[in-house]
């Protein structure tokens, strides 16, 4: 079952990881080994969580890479469903 309008993973990262730890974008980017621009794009919903970033986040925040990728998948799937809408597709089944 898909979540209704899931938040972008960057929003989760900002609200539940950076804010409680009072981390700046610059300090977090340095700790993750990425540019400030890269992290800022994720936090602002302009970029998604890649598998590599998921691994970095998992290690940095003691979470699983899978949890970050799952959040991104749920977000992407919901966005795609909204964009596609009620598309007509003919079922393909074995005779």
* Domain ranges across the chain: 9-84
In the CATH scheme, what is the homologous superfamily, with its name and number, of domain 9-84?
lambda repressor-like DNA-binding domains (1.10.260.40)
Residue with more model confidence, 42 or 88 = 42
Q: Global pTM?
A: 0.89
Residue 2 has pLDDT above 80, yes or no: no
**Can you tell me the distance from the alpha carbon of 63 to that of 95, in angstroms, rounded to the nearest whole number?**
46
Residue 81 has pLDDT above 60, yes or no: yes
- In this prediction, residues 2-17 reach a mean pLDDT of 92
Q: DSSP assignment, residue 8?
A: P
Asked if residues 36 and 29 have their Cβ atoms less than 8 Å apart, the reply is yes
- In this prediction, residues 1-15 reach a mean pLDDT of 88
Residue 84 CA to chain centroid, in angstroms? 20
* Average confidence score pLDDT of the chain: 95
């Amino acid at each position: 079952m898909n979540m209704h309008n899931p938040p972008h993973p960057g929003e989760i990262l900002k609200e539940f990881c950076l804010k409680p730890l009072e981390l700046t974008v610059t300090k977090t980017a340095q700790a993750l080994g990425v540019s400030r621009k890269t992290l800022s794009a994720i936090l602002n919903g302009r970029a998604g969580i890649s598998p590599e970033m998921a691994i970095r986040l998992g290690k940095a925040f003691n979470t699983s890479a899978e949890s970050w990728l799952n959040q991104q998948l749920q977000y992407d799937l919901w966005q795609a469903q909204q964009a596609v809408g009620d598309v007509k597709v003919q079922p393909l089944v074995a005779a």
